[in-house]
Structure 1
Amino acid sequence: MAQATLTITMPEQVWIQQLSTAYPAATFRVLAAVPGSETGFALVRISSTEIDDVIADMRDHPQILELTLAESSEDEATVHFETTAPLLLFSAREAGMPIELPVEVVDGEATIEVTGSRDRLAELAEQFERFGLSYRIEHVREHLHESQLLSDRQLEVAVAAVEEGYYDTPRRCSLTELAEQLGIAKSTCSETLHRAEEGIIKRFVEDLPDPDTEEPLEDQLAHS
């Protein structure tokens, strides 16, 4: 399984691009969404210092068929609506790839996370292009369960090291004291911690986004 974080630039003719760029300081947070046959339905929390104007413009937009205000405050509102232009939903549906929620849209861009097979992710990229959605890749990596990153013993020693204060500054527990607490030899404790640290640090570095990445998603999936 591969996991990808993508930033999607919405087409200019779509309501969410028009509203979010008209109010660039506003945040549209999609809490729930489902595609219909020709329209889409969503529950969105909007944060803005101009919340009344945002809701009014959204209600008047021709691509919004129906809008219900669920709750509101001075600078935030939650709305349920139906739209004729749910491009992210249609792309995900056609690719058979669910988009993880919530999704935030700010100033015409949406950041999404998806997890699935390489073939499904490549299909999703093709659907984005079909619906006129441009994207840039923040990162693509293999999605592994924590149990695949550390062994049970490595996890046990690492957790104990944190709990006992081995990683505190200043340290509250020495390596000798940690080994005694775990009932193992100091050398064994040191080696186990080193292997755990190696796995954690390498995973952290692998997950760092590459700001210069321009390679198509299909190619990244083939290389990763």
Structure 2
Amino acid sequence: MVCASLTLTIPKRTWIGTVSRNHPSAEFRVRSAQSADAVGVGFVELLAEKPTEIIESIRSFDPVHTVEVFHQEPNRALLQIEADKPILLDVLDKAGVPVEMPFEIQNGQVEWKLTTTRNRLSTLGSALDESEVGYVVEHIHAKPEFDRILTNKQQRLIEAALRRGYYDSPRQCTQEDLAASLDMAKSTCSEILHRAEERIVKSFERGTESDRTAPRQTA
């Protein structure tokens, strides 16, 4: 698995590309979105000085079917927007990659964070290359898969340590507390923990070295 962060540039010809550029200080926070039968539906939080003006602007575009206002304040509105499938959803559907929600659109640009496989990430890159969306990969790094690099005992101990706050700062439990919670001798706990941490660090370093050779994508 890999974690990646991308900055995308939405084409000006799209309604969201036009509206967000016409109101560069406005933030469109997409809380959820889905598409079916070439139509996309998104639940969006709009943060702007004059949300009413922006909402009316959105409604004026032919691809936009409906805009429902669930809640509105002087500088904020919650909207459900139904429109012809947006270009961003089309790219995600083609790649089959889930993106972390919410993500923000501002002044024609989008920040995406995602966790997926290298093959899926490559498919996403191809889908973006075939679209009109420009993009830059800001960073990419490997995400350790505990079930692949650790033994069952090591995984059980690491997960318990995370739950109990052993790796928090400041630390919420001692190694002795951790061992007692698992009915384990402190010396045994220390040895298993050390070996697990060694595997995780080495796995991360292998992933980092691999990622250093990955080219930055631009369009």
- TM-score higher than 0.5: yes
The whole-number CA distance in structure 2 between the counterparts of 1:166 and 1:141 is 21
What percent of counterpart residues are identical? 28
Give the distance between the partners of 1:9 and 1:84, measured in 2 at CA: 19
Q: Which moved further from structure 2: 18-27 or 163-172?
A: 163-172
Q: 1:180 to 1:95 in 2, by over 3 A?
A: closer
CA 1:103–1:202: 2 relative to 1, 3 Å: farther
Instruction: Give the 3-state SS of the residue equivalent to 2:67 in structure 1.
Output: strand
Answer whether contact 2:42 2:82 (CA < 8 A) is retained: yes
Q: Could you tell me which residue of structure 2 aligns to residue 82 of structure 1?
A: 82
- Counterparts of 1:81 and 1:134, CA distance in 2: 23
1:1-224 superposed matches below 5 A: 1-84=1-84, 86-142=86-142, 145-148=145-148, 150-158=150-158, 159=160, 163=164, 173=174, 177=176, 181=180, 182-184=183-185, 186=187, 188-199=188-199, 215-216=216-217
Q: Report SS of the residue matched to 1:111.
A: strand
* Shift in Å, 1:10: 0.9
Q: 1:138 to 1:196 in 2, by over 3 A?
A: farther
Aligned amino acid, residue 61 of structure 2: H
Measured on the aligned residues, the alpha-carbon RMSD in Å equals 3.9
Gaps of 5+ in 2: none
Q: CA deviation at 1:49?
A: 3.0
What amino acid is aligned across from residue 121 of structure 1 in structure 2?
Answer: L
Distance 2:166 2:203 in 1: 23
TM-aligned CA distance change 1:156 to 1:121, over 3 Å: closer
SS of aligned partner of 2:59? helix
Structure 1: segments with no counterpart, 5+ residues:
218-224
- Aligned-pair CA distance for 1:38: 4.2
TM, length-normalised to structure 1: 0.69
TM-score (norm 2): 0.71
The 8 Å contact of residues 164 and 178 in structure 1, kept in 2 or not, is answered as no
